[in-house]
Amino acid sequence: MSSEAAVKYVTDTPESEVKRVAEWINTEEYKEKNFARQALVINPAHACQPLGAELAAHGFEGSLPFVHGSQGCASYYRSTLNRHFREPAPAVSDSMTEDGAVFGGQNNLHEALENAYTIYKPKMMPIFTSCMPEIIGDDLTAFIKNARQKGCIPQDFPLPYANTPSFNGSHVHGYDAMLLSILQTLTEGKAVEGRCTGKLNLIAGFDANTGNYREYKRILEAFGIPYTLLADISETFDSPLDGTYRAYPGGTKLEDAADSINGKATIALGTYSTAKTFGWLKDNYAGKHAALPTPFGVEKTDAFIMKLSELFGKPVPESLKAERGRAVDAMTDAHQYMHGKKFALFGDPDYLLGYVSFLLEMGARPYHILCSKGTKKLEKEIQALLDASPYGKDGKIYINKDLWHLRSLVMTDPVDAMIGDTHGKFAARDANIPLFRFGFPVFDRVNLHRYPLIGYQGTINMVSTICNKFIEMRDETCEDRHFEMMR
């Protein structure tokens, strides 16, 4: 029997009609209809708030993320983190079901707190919410107070909590809300007049690249600046495989986080995913404070390095100066492979700003720039970057559009490549262009989260990944007479 005969069609739609529609969705006419869409979102490039909250909760020593809400939602956050890092993401849920939706989730919360505390012996349980308790209006403040009064949990056990309604914002806002609550809880009553830890508090924002965290540490160590990284997921999601299972590997020590309020200085990176946290700590933390963009590319890394130098009165170490020179050399050696190339970009606000800035430095053209949860402020900031470079003049920004919109864009107005996360692979395949997976999540490639994208080293990594792919494509597609040793 031929393979064609084995196909069992599930619809009566004739093949000619399937072909017609497949071609029609690549047209300008369809693009117009697609962009006229109002109520429906197709393949958004963001996740829901609690997922971000869980990432923040994982970044502390002995911390067990606690989902007040549905079990299925908790599975979604865990499996997303688990698939991206290929590491366990231990978290608990109080598994609200129909009766919780009708009568409120207090009983679920109390029982689960008692069980999780007894069985998993965490040092802290950051609590955040899924859609269901947010819709019915569960009062977490009262529920937690009652849990302590009932003795479900010791009086002094840290239970930071954040409302993370998923019908509003995205994973970056959930990250921010959870981190804020954790810092408020741990630092309560810990500010000491005249005390200075001498340390830098570094807040990386929502960043699921463990290599970036190691890179921040390496830069600070090169400077000789003592630091507390808030929140440090580098070990949590990249711990060594040595035969021992650790439920809570790594994370920022709770006592260091508590003492961060007495720091010498605080830098919050990723101004969109740390906005609330920074807004609070600049009025409450000792020392100097600065909010900077995530250091993608040379210019933004320079700004970060110079801020470190200024805050701590230390000269830039020779090793970092040499590293900067190597990054510039790597960019110069490779620029002809990226120069003038058009890119479609999508992702979180802080990463998008970084991609645009980096591409412009390489003489590449950020062309379709899409954020599915953005603001006018973000649009203005990206536009200012585009306006400052001749390579940005034809870049267009699409705020609050989704990946189905992006597909229409790349099919009707083609580009050379796409930068984003795994969710872009369908549009990239249809458009027959490479997808560079620098964002979150990445489900379909291994170990990418271990390669830093920030700093001078991250810049070299991005340049090499992109340019070598273009060179490889040339090797794969060129005529024999153009198949050269030298590229």
The least CB distance from residue 53 to ligand SF4, in Å, is: 10
Cis, peptide link before residue 315, omega less than 30° from 0:
no
How far, in Å, CA of 382 to CA of 397, rounded? 8
395: nearest Cα among 403, 387, 407: 387
Question: What track of x and - describes contact with ligand SF4 for positions 332 through 361 (by CB under 6 A)?
Answer: ------------------------------
- Torsion, Cα 144 150 152 156, to 10 degrees, reads 60
Nearer to ligand SF4, 70 or 277 (CB): 70
The least CB distance from residue 167 to ligand SF4, in Å, is: 7
The least CB distance from residue 75 to ligand SF4, in Å, is: 9
The least CB distance from residue 97 to ligand SF4, in Å, is: 13
Q: What angle do CA 291, 55, 68 make, to 5 degrees?
A: 120
Nearer to ligand SF4, 73 or 233 (CB): 73
Question: What track of x and - describes contact with ligand SF4 for positions 34 through 73 (by CB under 6 A)?
Answer: --------------x-x-------------------x--x
How far, in Å, CA of 469 to CA of 217, rounded? 29
The least CB distance from residue 49 to ligand SF4, in Å, is: 7
127 forms beta bridges with 66, 161
Among 34, 93, 130, 234, binds ligand SF4 (CB under 6 A): 130
Q: With binding defined as CB under 6 A, does residue 140 bind ligand SF4? A: no
Environment class of 242 (CB within 10 Å of its CB; exposed 0-12, middle 13-18, buried 19+):
exposed
Nearer to ligand SF4, 177 or 338 (CB): 177
Q: Is the dihedral angle over the CA atoms 454, 458, 460, 463 positive or is it negative? A: negative
Nearer to ligand SF4, 101 or 222 (CB): 101
The least CB distance from residue 129 to ligand SF4, in Å, is: 8
Cβ contacts of 417 within 8 Å, gap of 6 or more: 341, 342, 343, 344, 433, 434, 435, 436, 466, 469, 470
Nearer to ligand SF4, 50 or 349 (CB): 50
Question: What track of x and - describes contact with ligand SF4 for positions 162 through 191 (by CB under 6 A)?
Answer: ----x-------------------------
Nearer to ligand SF4, 31 or 46 (CB): 46
Question: What track of x and - describes contact with ligand SF4 for positions 90 through 129 (by CB under 6 A)?
Answer: ----------------------------------------
The least CB distance from residue 44 to ligand SF4, in Å, is: 10
Size of site (CB under 6 A) for ligand SF4: 8
Sheet holding 288-292, edge to edge: 227-230, 200-203, 265-269, 288-292
90: nearest Cα among 315, 248, 264: 248
* Residue whose pair of structure tokens reads 């700003």 in the numeric block: 353
Question: What track of x and - describes contact with ligand SF4 for positions 73 through 92 (by CB under 6 A)?
Answer: x--x----------------
Nearer to ligand SF4, 93 or 201 (CB): 93
Nearer to ligand SF4, 381 or 421 (CB): 421
How far, in Å, CA of 69 to CA of 66, rounded? 9
Is residue 195 within 8 A of residue 262, CB to CB? The reply is yes
Give the interface with ligand SF4 as residue ranges (CB under 6 A): 48, 50, 70, 73, 76, 130-131, 166
